[in-house]
Structure 1
């Protein structure tokens, strides 16, 4: 069995860090600068001394010049809490989407762990729920092993119906990896509620080339992976174009809904590969640096 996420790939992504504009960070020390002041070594500002303040933080040089006590303030560095939610409905098993989606989850998770952040991951199959929670660079191998061993997606129904139940509380950055094929009405219901759970929500939509422009001709029988319903069709240039137009319309409306509710999106093409998706596309929109 081929290695889903080779060490060489992990090393290429190693220098990256996940960034956020969210002011909500965890309560534990980390590597991300908070808008609060705290006890790091990087100076922030002065403020007047108030009874009860730590005398060790008085700047005696300023006191000598002004005859007033001022307290040194330092930037507070805290951890982020990163959650990755993976769509495991059956359509995600089409062609190479599942392997690519798991690679994205591993890559994002390892970037967070290397930065000292708390990373959680969740998904759900027909028979089992999966949840991972770790912190620290030494846990990167554990994350890779956990996600690699998840079998092919088997969940029936719509991803949007269960997504909210699998997002933990107090998340700084939320990554949702999906193909986005659920009805637009259900996506709108989900998007409405996500900002109340996490202020920095990011959706990565996964696309496979054979899904974008099917290489099919003649009389064929198509089977819906989600509902198992079959339909007989004659694939002509016209019908193929109609399919592509409808898919494009769905994706356009999906992006409009996401923008309406402040949800950020990135389109991830299997053909582009994990490295370009993370280090180029995600960097371009300011998700990593």
Structure 2
């Protein structure tokens, strides 16, 4: 289970990565990641974020509430929070192996924990079947259990359609910051639009591919029937050494394509399987 990976010892070790993510979040936020202690009304208005309990009611945008029926808090340049937007693929291919999903969810939770530990703003979105579920406005360490509960929720486990899912975020107020896409990227409609759209919304994009070790090195041998867990299409195949070599080459080519695409679009690409220690993976993302 996800919570089995997020032990107190592990979370304590995550806090040692605090300085690293603080630097990255700060550079992604034009007004700086840390809140200022400055007071008064002379601060220059910067942006809005969704209201969270405990916010100063004097900063609530009541005109916006009258128009939209939702509470937003005004932010000013000196107090603007860094923003971390996490988009995790909840499709059937991500959930086929339980260990793969737990590792992916723990990756998302780890990133959220470090940001929340600094009182930065965290938004988490689950992409599945071309739709988005969201858990937004998290801004303190106390909100971490809410993030974990959200990541533990069951999804439809449908098709991987990253581009279609991320279209749902066009009207979402993401803020200027870092976007982390956690997926296997086995997306029927690709991933190019998703990355480009997030870049257009002033996001520093990180593409984090998570695979199960059995997807990296298949264990099947002999005559097998392969069934697509998202479309139910199937194919009979003899798993010979030659077939396994072609699979290995195809996977490497796919990852090389993603890395090249990321570089062309000023994004970053990382690939991990669930045999890699989680803390090591997080450290590489934050490096």
TM-score higher than 0.5: yes
- Decide which of 130, 133, 140 is 2:144's aligned counterpart: 140
- What CA distance in whole angstroms lies between the structure 2 residues aligned with 1:203 and 1:121? 15
Distance 1:25 1:226 in 2: 43
- 1:221 and 1:232 in contact (8 A); partners too: yes
Q: How does 1:154-193 map to 2 (within 5 A)?
A: 154-166=157-169, 168-169=172-173, 170-182=175-187, 186-193=190-197
Deviations 1:105-135 (A, max 9, x none): 1111111111011111111445985321211
Q: Are 1:9 and 2:10 matched, yes or no?
A: yes
Tell me the residue number matched to 2:107. 104
RMSD: 2.7
Unaligned runs of 5+ in 2: 40-76
- Give the distance between the partners of 1:23 and 1:120, measured in 2 at CA: 15
Q: Does the residue aligned with 1:216 lie in a helix, a strand or coil? A: coil
Q: 2:116 aligns with which of 113, 136, 145?
A: 113
CA distance in 2, matches of 1:142, 1:186: 30
8 Å Cα contact 1:180-1:205 kept in structure 2 = yes
> Secondary structure at the residue paired with 2:168?
helix
The count of residues paired between Structure 1 and Structure 2 equals 240
Shift of 1:252: 0.7
- Determine the C-alpha separation between the residues in 1 that align with 2:35 and 2:94: 33
Local SS of the residue matching 2:253: helix
Mapped to 2, the partners of 1:229 and 1:117 lie a distance apart of 44
Task: Report the CA distance shift for 1:227/1:193 in structure 2 as closer, same or farther (over 3 A).
Answer: same
CA distance in 2, matches of 1:101, 1:12: 18
CA distance, structure 2, for counterparts of residue 124 and residue 227 of structure 1: 17
Do the aligned partners of residues 264 and 237 (structure 1) sit closer, same or farther apart at CA in structure 2, a change above 3 Å counting?
same
Equivalent position SS for 1:256: helix
Residue 209 of structure 2: SS of its match in structure 1? strand
Give the Cα–Cα distance (whole angstroms) in 1 for the partners of residues 272 and 185 of structure 2.
Answer: 12
User: Quick one: which of 217, 223, 247 aligns to 1:243?
Assistant: 247
Instruction: Quote the Cα distance in structure 2 between the aligned partners of 1:209 and 1:112.
Output: 28
Q: CA-to-partner distance for each residue in 1:168-203, whole Å, 9 max, x for gaps? A: 3224111110112226x7323333332101331111
Q: Secondary structure at the match of 1:186?
A: coil
The two structures have a TM-score, normalised by structure 1, of 0.74
Q: Which residue of 2 aligns with 1:199?
A: 203
Secondary structure of residue in 2 paired with 1:180: coil
Residues 225-282 of structure 1 deviation map (CA, whole Å, 9 limit, x = unaligned) = 1211010011111111111111111111111111111111222221112211113x12
Q: TM-score, normalised by structure 2?
A: 0.75
- Computing the radius of gyration from Cα coordinates, the structure with the larger value is 1
CA distance in 2, matches of 1:108, 1:157: 22
